[in-house]
């Protein structure tokens, strides 16, 4: 589209003219003269309106708001599939294919989780997202003293390649549209296990779609399942990016995760800013290895939360794509627009779910899933309504899956792209979020980047303060949570609670000990020795970990070798 047409679109959208401005100014008298008095009398609504991030919300938005932002249609919106990708990653979006219907699942042993995955796929789930238990995530085997009582509790226990074989028994890796996981601090180990399984199943890498979370930096910021200090952790994550780029360029080596940052209490603005800061660190580290952005950039993805502030969340997703594409273009000097689009994965917020009146969570998940779709995600994983109480039951997880299926097939919202594009309110929010994110990134750059900001506690302090402000508003009733601090009443929820089989941990401990006894331990020792040499040389560690995995070395044994080389991180309790 030429400059003349672009000018036409901009001026038509802006509705410039003194008459328009005068009408808007006259209309705004309602805010000062009438509405304020009505608010004082009612006592039901607050007089201070703002988004969850604290962005003030006006009574009415008009073309004048866009004029104030210097809005230009082609520069700031353009068309779906075109820079800066505000309106969507591809030209056709959901008209050609729905987003991936993912469900986050996993508990107990690999055998138990396998049954849940087969159940989900029989109900129409097109993606599998594997939840790992906490010992697995921090590189401990199930029979470690520190793992006691946590085995299989918040995800499936994975100790060795034997568990991966059992986890996907009867599930060819090329059957789901995508396989993903929470593996972060030990992301390269999980990658090696899936590579080894593909080889064993005889499925070539181009036939299945693997997406790793593999974001170790956010563990220091928000989640706490770190193992090694920040710098070696950054290196470890980038080993997977480099390996995938050279060996399996169709896979997604990392999903830079704002989700857990948001769940820890960050605002939508902080979620985008801190995610982008981490992304810059991963990109810079990978570029320093001599890889071109063209070789790995298109396979990077971002994983965000979808909360209850509907319009702010939609604007956030749009701003995330715009910030991403502009920073990649300007900071890293990438001109090919095909390399600037962002893969966006959304997970509805677990932190908004309540144990009180849990059926209310069905509505919360629906609203958050709707925001994800209207915001243009490529993959969606809705929470289940009972997650504030337990690992989801089959009934709850089916309702969660049905939520996105109903959105896709019954509402018609996927028939047009970015249906809220051009909304004065949404476009203004998108600008506000983008501007605030860029301010944060300037501060982080001044500190020396994401790793330095982690080490000096900047991220953690910002999130802690935002979380305090948020929950203070809930405690005082300024922010309403239905069923928790307003419209509260005693009720018999009569909700089914899933309880993990208490024998699961015993079976898993016996299994890992049996694996150690029956494997070729000379082969294991040799593989672990080679891993140590590679770590000492600062080599890419995916190949030696792959050999260790194939020998049935356990995750704990592999991570123990690296603990000896890198040390363990000890997070300060305060800053």
Which among 229, 259, 258, 264 has a CA at the least distance from the CA of 462? 264
**Average of per-residue pLDDT across 341-349:** 97
Six-digit token string for 141: 């085997």
Percent of the chain having pLDDT more than 70?
91
Give the pLDDT confidence score for residue 193 in this predicted structure: 97
- The 3-state secondary structure of 336-395 reads CHHHCCCEEEEEECCCCCCCCCCCHHHHHHHHHHHHHHHCCCCEEECCCCCCCCCCCCHH
Sign, Cα dihedral of 528, 532, 534, 540: positive
The band of 42, judged by pLDDT with boundaries at 50, 70 and 90, is low
> Domain limits of the chain?
77-446
**Tens digits of per-residue pLDDT, 175-233?**
999 999 889 999 999 999 999 999 999 999 989 999 999 999 999 999 999 999 999 99
CA distance 556 to 494: 40
What pLDDT score does 1 carry?
42
Task: Determine the Cα–Cα distance for residues 158 and 142; give it in Å rounded to an integer.
Answer: 8
How many helices (H) and strands (E) are present in the chain, helices listed first?
Answer: 24, 8
Instruction: Please state, as a whole number, how many other Cβ atoms lie within 10 Å of the Cβ of residue 230.
Output: 21
Q: How far is CA 64 from the centre of its chain?
A: 35
Max avg pLDDT among 21-30, 94-103, 551-560: 551-560
The region that residue 106 occupies, defined by phi over 0 for left and psi between -120 and 50 for alpha, beta otherwise, is: left
State what percent of residues in the chain have pLDDT above 90: 83
* 41: confidence class by pLDDT, cuts 50, 70, 90: low
11, pLDDT greater than 60: no
Q: pLDDT tier at 267 (50, 70, 90 boundaries)?
A: very high
CB 353 within 8 A of CB 361: yes
Q: How far apart are CA 106 and CA 125, in angstroms?
A: 14
Judged against a pLDDT cut of 80, whether residue 26 lies above it is answered with no
Which of 553-565 are b and which e, b meaning 16 or more Cβ less than 10 Å from the residue's Cβ? bbbbbbbebbeee
Asked whether residue 490 carries a pLDDT value surpassing 60, the answer given is: yes
Token digits for 562? 């690296």
Omega of the bond prior to 91 within 30 degrees of 0, cis?
Answer: no
* Position 545 pLDDT exceeds 80: yes
What's the confidence (pLDDT) of residue 104?
Answer: 87
pLDDT band per the 50, 70, 90 thresholds, residue 20: low
Can you give the pLDDT at residue 426? 98
Average pLDDT over residues 373-402: 94
Q: How far apart are CA 506 and CA 504, in angstroms?
A: 5
Closest CA to 193 of 178, 210, 206: 210
Question: Which of 560, 562, 505 is closest to 539 using CA atoms?
Answer: 562
Whether a cis peptide bond, with omega within 30° of 0, leads into 84 is: yes
Residue 551 token pair: 């020998």
HEC-encoded secondary structure of 429-448: HHHHHHHHHHHHHHHHHHHC
Least confidently predicted of 47-61, 290-304, 399-413, 417-431: 47-61
User: Where residue 518 falls among pLDDT bands split at 50, 70, 90?
Assistant: very high
Q: What is the spatial distance between Cα 336 and Cα 328, in angstroms, rounded to a whole number?
A: 10
Residues in the chain, total: 575
Q: Which of 365-369, 391-395, 513-517 has the lowest mean pLDDT?
A: 391-395
C-alpha span between 32 and 13 (Å, rounded) = 27
Provide the 10 A C-beta neighbour count for residue 333. 8
Residue 2 scores a pLDDT above 50 = no
422: left (phi over 0), alpha (psi -120 to 50) or beta: left
* Distance from C-alpha of 129 to C-alpha of 107, rounded to nearest angstrom: 12
Alpha-carbon separation of residue 307 from 233, 266, 350, 550 (angstroms): 29, 11, 9, 41
* pLDDT score of 28 more than 70: no
Q: Give every CB contact of residue 4 below 8 A, 6+ residues apart in sequence.
A: none
Give the tens place of pLDDT for each residue, 307-338. 999 999 999 999 999 999 999 999 999 999 99
Q: Which tokens go with 420?
A: 């809220």
Q: What is the pLDDT of residue 8?
A: 46
Q: According to the model, what pLDDT value does residue 218 have?
A: 97
Mean pLDDT of 450-471: 95
The token duo for 457 is 């506690």
What distance in Å separates the CA atoms of residue 203 and residue 184, rounded to the nearest whole number?
25
| Residue 574 Ramachandran class (φ > 0 left, ψ -120 to 50 alpha, else beta) | beta
Does pLDDT of 43 surpass 60?
A: no
Query: Which pLDDT score is estimated for 573?
Result: 57
Give the span between the Cα atoms of 551 and 205, in whole angstroms: 21
What average pLDDT is seen over the chain? 92
Whole-number Å distance between alpha carbons of 128 and 83: 31
**If DSSP codes are grouped into helix, strand and coil, which group holds residue 302?**
strand
Compute the average pLDDT of residues 395-419: 96
**Sign of the alpha-carbon torsion through 290, 292, 293, 298:** negative
Distances (CA, A) of 220 to 117, 142, 278, 413, 459: 30, 23, 11, 38, 9
Query: Which tokens go with 231?
Result: 């710098």
Q: Would you say domain 77-446 falls under CATH 3.40.190.10? A: no
Segment 129-159, tens digit of pLDDT: 999 999 999 999 999 999 999 999 989 999 9
- End-to-end, the C-alpha distance of the chain in Å comes to 52
Three-state DSSP state, 101: strand
């Amino acid at each position: 589209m030429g400059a003349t047409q672009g000018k036409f679109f901009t001026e038509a959208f802006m509705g410039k003219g003194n008459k328009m401005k005068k009408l808007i100014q006259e209309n705004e008298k309602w805010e000062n003269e009438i509405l304020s008095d009505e608010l004082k009398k009612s006592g039901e609504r607050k007089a201070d309106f703002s988004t969850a991030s604290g962005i003030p919300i006006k009574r009415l938005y008009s073309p004048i708001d866009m004029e104030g932002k210097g809005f230009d249609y082609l520069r700031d919106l353009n068309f779906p599939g075109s820079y800066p990708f505000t309106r969507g990653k591809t030209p056709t979006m959901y008209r050609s294919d729905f987003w991936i219907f993912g469900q986050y699942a996993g508990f107990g042993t690999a055998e138990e989780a396998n049954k849940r995955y087969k159940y989900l796929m029989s109900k129409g789930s097109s993606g599998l997202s594997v939840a790992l238990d906490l010992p697995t995530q921090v590189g401990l085997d199930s029979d470690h003293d520190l793992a006691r009582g946590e085995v299989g509790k918040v995800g499936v226990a994975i100790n060795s390649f034997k568990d991966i074989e059992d986890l996907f028994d009867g599930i060819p890796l090329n059957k789901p549209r995508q396989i993903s996981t929470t593996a972060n601090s030990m992301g390269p180990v999980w990658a090696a296990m899936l590579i080894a399984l593909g080889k064993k199943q005889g499925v070539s890498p181009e036939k299945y779609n693997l997406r790793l979370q593999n974001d170790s930096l956010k563990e220091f910021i928000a989640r706490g399942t770190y193992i090694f200090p920040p710098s070696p952790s950054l290196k470890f994550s980038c080993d997977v990016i480099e390996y995938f780029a050279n060996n399996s360029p169709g896979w997604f080596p990392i999903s830079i995760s704002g989700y857990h940052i948001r769940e820890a209490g960050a605002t939508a603005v902080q979620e985008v800013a801190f995610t982008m800061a981490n992304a810059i660190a991963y990109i810079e580290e990978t570029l320093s290895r001599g890889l071109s952005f063209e070789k790995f950039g298109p396979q990077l993805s971002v994983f965000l939360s979808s909360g209850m502030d509907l319009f702010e969340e939609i604007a956030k997703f749009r701003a995330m794509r715009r910030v991403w594409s502009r920073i990649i273009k300007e900071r890293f000097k990438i001109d090919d627009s095909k390399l600037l689009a962002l893969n966006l994965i959304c997970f509805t917020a677990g932190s908004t779910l309540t144990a009180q009146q849990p059926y209310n969570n069905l509505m919360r998940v629906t609203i958050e899933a709707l925001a994800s779709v209207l915001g243009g995600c490529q993959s969606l994983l809705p929470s289940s309504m009972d997650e504030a109480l337990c690992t989801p039951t089959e009934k709850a997880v089916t309702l969660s899956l049905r939520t996105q299926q109903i959105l896709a097939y019954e509402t018609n919202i996927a028939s047009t792209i970015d249906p809220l594009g051009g909304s004065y309110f949404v476009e203004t929010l998108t600008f506000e979020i983008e501007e605030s994110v860029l301010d944060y990134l300037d501060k982080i750059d001044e500190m020396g980047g994401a790793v330095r900001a982690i080490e000096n506690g900047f991220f953690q302090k910002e999130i802690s303060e935002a979380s305090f402000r948020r929950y203070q508003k809930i405690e005082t009733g300024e922010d309403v949570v239905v069923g928790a601090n307003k419209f509260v009443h005693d009720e018999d929820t009569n909700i089914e609670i899933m309880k993990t089989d208490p024998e699961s941990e015993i079976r898993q401990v016996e299994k890992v000990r049996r694996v150690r006894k029956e494997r070729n331990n000379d082969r294991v020792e040799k593989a672990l020795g080679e891993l140590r040499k590679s770590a000492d040389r600062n080599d890419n560690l995916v190949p030696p970990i792959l050999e260790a995995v194939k020998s049935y070395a356990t995750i704990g044994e592999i991570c123990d070798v690296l603990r000896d080389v890198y040390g363990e991180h000890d997070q300060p309790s305060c800053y």
